[in-house]
Amino acid sequence: MKALVNICRCILAATFMFSGFVKANDPLGMQYKLQDYFAVWHINNIPETLFLITAILIAIFEFSLGIYYALGIKRELVTKVSLIFMIAMTILTIYIVIFNPVSDCGCFGDAIILTNVQTLIKNLILLTATVITTLKWKLIQPILSKHIDWIITTTAIVGIIAYTTYAIYALPPIDFRPYKIGTDLVKALNDGNHHPQFDVTIVYEKDGVKKELSIDDEDPDSTWKYVETKRTPVESTNNGIIDLYIEADNEDITNDIITPNGDIFLLIAPDLNTADQGSIDKINEIYDFTCQKDDVEFYCITASDSSLQQKWIDYTGAEYIIYNSDERILKTMVRANPGVIYIHNGVITKKWSNWNIPTIQELNKL
């Protein structure tokens, strides 16, 4: 029994530490996943900052549980807390399996993508291990003396908080997503796999009321005014790269923008309405820098509609061209709003968040 308890303890320690670490590595990714859940439940009025704080707290909580399990600290309390946590997570996973509100629960971020059924199996295993350790918590063997265990745990918790803060400031240090630094976009887009599929929605308006119709629906009568055409890529199972599209006037111009020659700066702003305005001056400096170079281009890519684009232009004095793409794709490309991507000869070479956008001096070193 003692061996079984400590095997369960090691499984829980490793799982919680890994899960907490990948969430700390990409707190914005966890924020987006939380927003997906609440959007399914039609709860859309929660501030983004609250989602981010929740994501950070979840990362710290899980990592701390793992540390406590690993070192055998506060055994009775830790096992009871983890039992409550795993019961709640298992119930949530059962709901996800039945109703399928999201395709991936986000337990391990982008590091390990699990189906909803796989997540349920994983949680049932962890729940079983938690029940065993809770019933027999006295058999968990402490690793350190009580006189020094607080030093290790405090250091670990402070460290994970610092790591999470850095991941927000400078983007995830370990990038598990398809648009990581070093990715050859030209090769990915032109290897015969770049065939994004779209759901097309046409938006009309009359007396302040908007109506969205599919491409197969009949056009409304002439009293309705055409507003825009939305193209939303159908989510694929190929890690995201072939979903990339940059749109102008409802045409996919991705291959015209991402070329094998020259340098390109992409200002990625999923939502111009909530984009950080404190980085505007540095963004404009990058654009001014590119204007002085013959072989350097600068474009803004956003999911915002034309009215928000015009509002952004009026407020920032932006003179650069703005194109459209899908919000999910843009949030995958860079975990910031806005963020900047530098592409050299078709290869993603540098990425910056709104917090550490480079100066002219740094750009001259590229």
Query: Hey, where are the domains in the chain?
Result: 2-170, 185-193+256-363
Q: Could you read off the pLDDT of 87-127 as tens digits, one per residue?
A: 999 999 999 999 888 878 888 988 998 999 999 999 999 99
Our measurement of the distance from residue 191's CA atom to the centroid of its chain's CA atoms, rounded to an integer in Å, reads 26
pLDDT below 70 — which residues of the chain?
Answer: 191-200, 215, 229-242
Q: How far apart are CA 304 and CA 28, in angstroms?
A: 19
CB distance 178 to 239 below 8 Å? yes
Q: How far apart are CA 68 and CA 16, in angstroms?
A: 10
**Which residue type sits at 266?**
L
Cross-strand bridge partners of residue 268: 301, 339
Q: Could you read off the pLDDT of 190-205 as tens digits, one per residue?
A: 764 555 556 667 888 8
Q: Which two tokens stand for residue 88?
A: 């709640």
3-class secondary structure per residue, 171-221: CCCCCCCCCCCCCEHHHHHCCCCCCCCEEEEEEEEECCEEEEEECCCCCCC
Kindly report the pTM of this predicted structure: 0.85
- What's the pLDDT at 187? 85
Q: How far apart are CA 335 and CA 169, in angstroms?
A: 10
Q: How far apart are CA 112 and CA 22, in angstroms?
A: 9
Q: Which of 115, 57, 56, 129 is nearest to 86 (CA)?
A: 129
CB distance 318 to 288 below 8 Å? no
Q: How far apart are CA 90 and CA 124, in angstroms?
A: 7
CB distance 185 to 247 below 8 Å? no
The CB density around residue 285, as the number of other CB atoms within 10 Å, is 15
Q: Which of 86, 76, 74, 72 is nearest to 15 (CA)?
A: 86
Torsion of CA 53, 59, 62, 66, to 10 degrees: -140
CB distance 284 to 236 below 8 Å? no
- What's the pLDDT at 234? 57
Domain 185-193+256-363, CATH homologous superfamily name and number: Glutaredoxin (3.40.30.10)
Where in the chain does DSSP place strands (E)? 198-206, 209-214, 225-233, 247-248, 251-252, 263-269, 296-302, 321-324, 339-344, 347-352
User: How many residues would you count in the chain?
Assistant: 366
- What's the pLDDT at 232? 63
Q: How far apart are CA 342 and CA 351, in angstroms?
A: 6
